[in-house]
């Protein structure tokens, strides 16, 4: 009797383990089918800028040995001597064809050996920039190795551009005012109107409602 009972208990435990294993997450190594080795470089001269926020952007680059050798040889032919590697950041806001030679201003960042990327603190929301990487000669001449794409940092704060699609008729305004709890207890009509105006501006600036969803909601309620 006891032997049969033990067999039944073991059988029950085995079934529970099998059922439970159906819901267990596979081990991480089971998902790894092959090793992927990303190349250190791609053999292409380029520098890429990417906006992070209104004050910062990220830039990374790759410069081939042949390109740098060619520029260094040109530097020597001009009688110039290498001093350091730099990236030069140009403010090209409003500049025709985004030409760095006509930039509003620029500043340099010295690069250390083996560096291949940099976070740039520009502190200028709502501006356009591009970056060049190159070699600076002791004589003050800058030899360009590559030029980046053009980026624009986003403005800081709420947009002051008002879309005419948000304009409401007087009837629609007071309808929204009413269904939002207007004319509530303990507040005058003027107070509630001012409160609703602030609330509506917050909705619009946050993108919480869209013009089409707002219009359809009005139609449904009016029916």
Lowest model confidence (mean pLDDT) among 7-16, 54-63, 135-144, 198-207: 7-16
**Rounded to 5°, angle at Cα 44 from 89 and 98:** 35
**Helical H segments across 78-136, by residue range:** none
Q: What's the mean pLDDT when you consider all of the chain?
A: 77
Distances, alpha carbon 140 to alpha carbons 82, 84, 103, 143, in Å:
10, 10, 18, 10
Which of 65 and 222 is assigned the larger pLDDT?
65
The pLDDT score that the predictor gives to residue 7 is: 52
Give me the pLDDT at residue 156, please.
84
User: CA 43, CA 62: separation in Å to the nearest integer?
Assistant: 8
Percent of the chain with pLDDT over 90: 48
**In DSSP terms, which residues pair with 57 in a beta bridge?**
51, 120
Tokens 């449904």 identify what position? 220
Q: How many CB atoms lie within 10 A of CB 57?
A: 22
The residue with greater pLDDT, 29 or 147, is 147
């Amino acid at each position: 009797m006891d032997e049969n009972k033990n067999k039944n208990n073991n059988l029950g435990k085995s079934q529970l383990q099998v059922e439970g294993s159906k819901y267990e997450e596979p081990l991480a190594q089971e998902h790894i089918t092959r090793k992927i080795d990303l190349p250190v470089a791609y053999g292409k001269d380029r520098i890429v800028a990417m906006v992070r926020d209104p004050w910062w952007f990220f830039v990374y680059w790759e410069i081939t040995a042949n390109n740098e050798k060619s520029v260094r040889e040109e530097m020597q032919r001009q009688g110039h001597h290498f001093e350091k590697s730099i990236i030069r950041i140009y403010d090209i806001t409003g500049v025709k064809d985004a030409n760095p030679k006509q930039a509003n201003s620029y500043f340099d960042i010295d690069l250390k050996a083996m560096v291949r990327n940099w976070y740039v603190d520009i502190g200028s929301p709502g501006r356009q920039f591009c970056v060049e990487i190159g070699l600076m000669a002791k004589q003050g001449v800058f030899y360009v190795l590559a030029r980046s794409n053009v980026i624009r940092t986003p403005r800081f704060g709420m947009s002051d551009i008002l879309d005419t699609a948000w304009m409401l008729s007087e009837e629609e305004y007071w309808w929204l005012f009413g269904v939002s709890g207007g004319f509530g207890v303990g507040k005058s009509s003027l107070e509630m109107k001012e409160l609703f105006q602030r609330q509506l501006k917050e909705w619009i600036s946050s993108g919480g409602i869209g013009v089409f969803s707002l219009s359809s909601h009005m139609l449904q309620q009016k029916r």
